[in-house]
C-alpha cells in the first residue's frame, strides 16, 4: 500500500514552460486536493475534487488547471509557468472521515 505518491519529486522550469504534476492514491479515496506551500504562509488550497470526473477551485487557483479522469489520479497542470509559482506542491486525499493523507511533495522552481 503506497498511500499517496507524487511525480516528479523535483523540477526546474523556465518561465513560460508547461508541466503536469501527477498525484496517485491507492486507498480508493473519493476526495483529492492540491496545495502549495510557501515559507511563512502554511498550505493553501489550489484545486480539489470530490470524485472522479469532478474538479473545483480552491483559494489560489489562478495559473493552474486540474483533471480527475480516474479516481486514483489527480493531475495539476501549469500551462505557462511563472516565477511566482515556485513552491512546494502537496497532494492529499481523504475518505469519508476527515483525515487528509498527504503525498511527499514536489519542489518546483521556475526561473
Stretches 17-25, 40-48, 62-70, 71-79: which one binds another protein (CB under 8 A)?
A: 40-48
Least CB distance to another protein at residue 106 (A): 11
| Cα–Cα distances in angstroms (integers) from residue 58 to residues 4, 66, 75, 91, 106, in the given order | 20, 11, 15, 13, 19
Least CB distance to another protein at residue 15 (A): 26
Which residues 52-81 are close enough to bind another protein by CB under 8 A? 56, 58-59
Kind and range of the H or E element at 70?
none
Of 61, 63, 77, 105, the residue at the interface with another protein (CB under 8 A) is 105
Give the residue carrying C-alpha cell 516565477: 83
C-alpha cell at 5: 505518491
Amino acid at each position: 500500500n503506497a498511500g499517496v505518491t507524487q511525480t516528479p519529486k523535483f523540477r526546474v522550469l523556465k518561465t513560460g514552460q508547461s508541466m503536469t504534476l501527477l498525484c496517485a492514491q491507492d486507498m480508493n479515496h473519493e476526495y483529492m486536493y492540491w496545495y502549495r506551500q510557501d515559507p511563512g504562509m502554511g498550505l493553501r488550497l489550489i484545486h480539489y475534487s470530490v470524485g472522479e470526473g469532478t474538479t473545483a477551485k480552491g483559494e489560489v487557483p489562478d495559473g493552474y488547471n486540474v483533471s480527475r479522469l480516474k479516481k486514483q489520479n489527480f493531475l495539476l497542470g501549469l500551462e505557462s509557468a511563472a516565477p511566482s509559482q515556485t513552491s512546494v506542491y502537496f497532494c492529499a486525499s481523504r475518505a469519508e472521515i476527515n483525515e487528509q493523507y498527504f503525498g511527499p511533495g514536489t519542489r518546483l522552481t521556475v526561473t
